[in-house]
Structure 1
Amino acid sequence: MRTYRELLRTPEFTPLFLTVSAQVAAATVSGLALGVLVYAATGSPLLAALSMFGPSLAQAIGAAALLSAADRLPPRAAMTGVALAFCLGTAALAVPGLPLPGIFAIILGLGLVGSVGGGVRYGLLNEIVPADGYLLGRSLVNMSVGIMQVCGFAAGGVLVSVLSPRGTLLAGAALYLVAAGTARFGLSARAPRAVGRPSVAATWRSNVRLWSSAPRRRVYLALWVPNGLIVGCESLFVPFAPEQAGTLFAFAASGMLAGDVLVGRFVPARWQARLGAALLLLLAAPYLVFAVDPPVPLAVAAVTVASIGYAASLVLQQRLMDLTPAEMSGHALGLHSSGMITMQGVAAALAGTLAQYTSPGTAIAVMAAASVTVTLALARGLSGPARTGPSQRARADIERHGDAGNPAAPPQAGHLAGNAPPATGNRRTT
């Protein structure tokens, strides 16, 4: 599968695509409104950054306690429920007079709910598209993310001026309701990918299995840390240029969209696996210009070019899937999503703290330099095909089928071969 037309003809891909698009549009509009609301009320770069990206911190708790639900809940019901929870929570944020602790309590609660959403969403994509279409499907979904963020930040800036931040939050809640309806009536009922009840113990067992592989650990760190540090840079757009923050966000999303199109559609598969580290360096290096507090046009150019590097997540997610047993695909992708979003929240807090004591431009440059440093440290092993040695292949076979030669080997909790989805391969906030 090499064309988007073929992909859109795949049964159920279109309603999944539309559901994700509506959710991203809702998150973009409501996130900008919330950042403006909190910054206007407090004048604090740290609190403004945390209001937009603070829910990400709750993803760490969700990844530790709730992530087993990603493979153990019916996908349609889970996606519908997550969208409805965000609809109600976003509407609650628009209540006049809501105190700051109440705002953060709601957004942290939504972060917990969202920790399951990524695994459900991309585990379902893993089932819907054929093996040779997964990276193309992920590319098209990411393109939608870019388009929705461009339109969402542009529309959000207008809505904040016309409707006020609280009115814009209500518009975001309405978009989440559209997403819930699309998931409920557009997707078919499917059984969970794995048996057993979701539990903290099941989540920890699967997390330990995924983290036990050194190649997977390296990929996870590469997906989480460089990306998160750059989202920390983005969390300072409002204090860096309050009147032009929507423009900066929109152009960053445009660069992200361009990168997804180039890598997902036009770069040959034999080259894609070699681009991970190079794209991560591209993601960070242009932000170093913020050290000199550039004028807004230069800042816009820098973030646009840098955001092409978000396409690194496409090739690294494919690498992660190549290293992961098929029956754990939803959990693996959920751990990626939760870890990435958690790191984004941590980085937003760190960037906001740096900005409090220096300046937004200086803090952005420091975060970018840290991203470059981490990428260089992880670069070995991120390029080329995901090879496994004999012992690693043996361990992968044991993960998939159990240790046939060892009667005492424990069963793989909660996962049966008969419930495994088709074997297929799989960023900012998606």
Structure 2
Amino acid sequence: MRTYREVFRTPEFTPLFLISATQVAASTASGLALGTLVYAATGSPLLSALSMFGPSLAQVAGALALLSAADRLRPRAALSGLAVLFALGTAALALPGLPVAAVFALVFGLGAAAALGGAVRYGLLTEILPKDGYLLGRSVINMSGGTMQIGGYAAGGLLVTALSARGTLLVAAALYLLAAAAARFGLSGRPARAGGRPSVTETWRVNARLWSSAPRRHVYYALWVPNGLIVGCESLFVPYAPRHAGLLFAAGSLGMLMGDLLTGRLLPPHRRERLAAPLRLLLAVPYLVFALHPPLPLALAAVALASIGFSATLPLQQRLMALTPDAMSGQALGLHSSGMLTMQGVSAALAGALAQPTSPAVAMATMAAVSVAITLALAPGLRGDPAAPRQVVSSAGRFEEAAPEERAP
């Protein structure tokens, strides 16, 4: 599978694509509206950043408790039910007079549920597409996410002006309901991928097996930490440039779109792997210019250029899949997504806390410098070709890796 046309001809990919795109548009518009609402109410860069990226921080709870459900629930029912939950939660955030504490309780609750949603969605993608089509399909979904973020931030800024922040939240809730309808009527009634009942114990067991491999740990670190630190930079766009935050977010989304097109579609596999390390550096280096308080055009160019580097996650995901048995691929992708979003939430909190005594510009440049240092430190563990572990079936009927692996300390 080498073309986008082949991907879209695959049954059920188009509905899954629409579900993902609609939810990204809803979360983008609602995040901008909520960040604006909280900043207007509190004047705090930290609380504004947490309101926009706090759901990512809550993903750790979902990753630790809910991920085993991703393979044990019917995908159509799970995706449609979760979309309805997000619609109700987003509508509740629009209630006038809602205390800030209640806002954050809702935000973190929805974030925990989002961990399960990502695992179900990407696990279903591995069923819908053949193995050689996964990277191409994931790049399409990433590009749609970038496009929806561009449109979502632009439309969100207009809606906040025209309807108010609360009105924008209600529009986002309606988009979640559209995603629920697309899941219910566009996907087939596939059975769950695994038997048994979801449990915290089973989630921990598989997470421990995934974490037991040193090569996988290096990939997870590279997927989570440098990426998250740069999202921490993005979380400060509102206090850095309150009137132009939407433009900065849109520039970042445009860069992500360009990067996914370049890495997922245009680069041949051997060059994609060769450019993975430079792309990880590109993600952070342009943000160093914010230490100089650049004018808006230069700031927009730096954000767009840096965001091309987010496409480094595509070859890293391919490496992760090569290192992971098929039986654990759904939870492996869920752990990647939840860990990445959790680190983004942590980084948003760190960036906001750093900006309080200094300034948003200083905090952004500092986070970028740390991202560069961590990328360089992780580089030795990401060299060489990954070798996929073999699978065997244990006497208990569980899939296990044939060879013992190094355990995490």
TM-score, normalised via structure 1 length = 0.91
Alignment of 1:197-216 (within 5 A): 197-216=197-216
Deviation at residue 412 of structure 1 after TM alignment: 6.3
Identity of aligned residues (%): 68
Report matched runs for 1:268-287 at 5 Å: 268-287=268-287
Matches within 5 A, 1:199-278: 199-278=199-278
Displacement of 1:191 in angstroms is: 1.1
Structure 2 counterparts to residues 40-59 of structure 1, below 5 A: 40-59=40-59
In structure 2, C-alpha distance between the alignment counterparts of 1:260 and 1:181, rounded to whole Å: 28
- Structure 2 matches for 1:62-77, cutoff 5 A? 62-77=62-77
Tell me which residue corresponds to 1:134.
134
Aligned to 1:184: 184
Secondary structure of the 2:175 match is: helix
- Structure 1 residue aligned with 2:119: 119
SS of 1:380 mapped into structure 2: helix
Q: Is 1:93 matched with 2:84? A: no
What corresponds to 2:305 in structure 1?
305
Give the residue type in structure 1 aligned to 2:41: A
- Asked if the contact 1:2–1:136 (Cα under 8 Å) also holds between the matched residues in 2, the reply is yes
- 2:393 touches 2:400 (CA, 8 Å); kept in 1? no
* Secondary structure of 2:178's aligned partner: helix
* 8 A Cα contact 2:240 2:361, kept in partner: yes
Return the alpha-carbon distance in structure 2 between the equivalents of residues 412 and 42 of structure 1: 54
CA distance in 2, matches of 1:109, 1:412: 34
Amino acid at match of 2:159: L
Which residue pairs with 1:358 in the alignment? 358
- The one-letter amino acid of 1:144's match is S
Aligned residue for 1:376?
376
In 2, Cα distance between the equivalents of 1:412 and 1:103?
A: 44
DSSP 3-state at the match of 1:174: helix
The answer to whether the Cα contact below 8 Å between 1:273 and 1:385 also exists between their aligned partners in 2 is no
* Superposition deviation, residue 278 in structure 1: 1.4
Deviation at 1:38, TM superposition (A): 0.3
Per-residue CA distance 1:101-149 (angstroms, 9 max, x = gap): 0000001100111010111101100010112111110110011001000
Contact 1:277 1:383 in 2 (8 A): no
Paired amino acid for 2:151 = C
* Equivalent residue letter for 1:100: V
Cα deviation for residue 15 of structure 1 reads 0.3
Tell me the distance in 2 between the aligned counterparts of 1:412 and 1:355: 52
Deviation of residue 214 (structure 1)?
A: 0.4
CA contact (8 A) 2:26 2:173 kept: yes
Distance 2:363 2:206 in 1: 37
Alignment-derived partner of residue 327 in structure 1: 327
CA distance in 1, matches of 2:4, 2:56: 31
CA displacement, residues 12-43 of structure 1 (integer Å, 9 cap, x when unaligned): 00000000000000000000000000001111
Code of the residue aligned with 1:341 in structure 2: it is L
**Alignment RMSD (CA, Å):** 1.3
Aligned match of 1:11: 11
> What displacement does 1:416 show?
9.4
For residue 169 of structure 1, what is the amino acid of its counterpart?
Answer: L
Secondary structure of the residue that 2:356 maps to in structure 1? helix
Distance 1:275 1:32 in 2: 33
The Cα shift of 1:273 comes to: 2.0
SS of the equivalent of 1:122 reads helix
Aligned-pair distance for 1:350? 0.2
Aligned equivalent of 1:401, options 353, 378, 392: 392
**Could you say which residue in structure 2 is the equivalent of 1:347?**
347
Alpha-carbon distance in 1 for matches of 2:309, 2:325: 28
Supply the distance in 2 between the matched residues of 1:379 and 1:402 (Cα, whole angstroms): 34
Q: Distance in 2 between matches of 1:204 and 1:311?
A: 29
How far does the alpha carbon of each residue in 1:391-427 deviate from its partner, in whole angstroms, 9 at most, with x for none? xx6xx33xx2146xxxxxx6465x599xxxxxxxxxx
What amino acid is aligned across from residue 218 of structure 1 in structure 2? H
The answer to whether the 8 Å contact 2:90/2:170 transfers is yes
Question: How far apart, in 1, do the equivalents of 2:34 and 2:243 lie?
Answer: 15
Counterpart Cα distance in 1 of 2:225 and 2:194: 29
Q: Which residue of 2 aligns with 1:290?
A: 290
Match of 1:407 in 2: none
Check the 8 A contact 1:50/1:348 in 2, yes or no.
yes
Contact 1:136 1:265 in 2 (8 A): yes
Contact 1:276 / 1:383 at 8 angstroms: preserved in 2? no
Range moving further from structure 2, 237-246 or 186-195: 186-195
Q: Report the number of matched residues.
A: 401
Q: Kindly tell me: are residues 329 and 288 of structure 1, through their superposed partners in 2, closer, same or farther at Cα, counting changes over 3 Å?
A: same
Q: Give the match for residue 28 of structure 1.
A: 28
CA shift, 1:274, in A, is: 2.3
Distance in 2 (CA, whole Å) between partners of 1:87 and 1:334 is 22
> Which residues of structure 1 form unaligned runs of 5+?
404-409, 418-430
- How far does residue 295 in structure 1 lie from its aligned partner after superposition? 1.4
Shift of 1:70: 1.1
CA–CA distance in 2 between the matches of 1:305 and 1:68? 37
Q: What is the Cα deviation at residue 355 of structure 1?
A: 0.2
Contact 1:25 1:149 in 2 (8 A): yes
Deviates more, 1:56-65 or 1:350-359: 56-65
CA distance in 2, matches of 1:79, 1:271: 36
8 Å Cα contact 1:54-1:108 kept in structure 2: yes
- Give the match for residue 424 of structure 1: none
8 Å CA contact 1:193, 1:327 repeated in 2: no
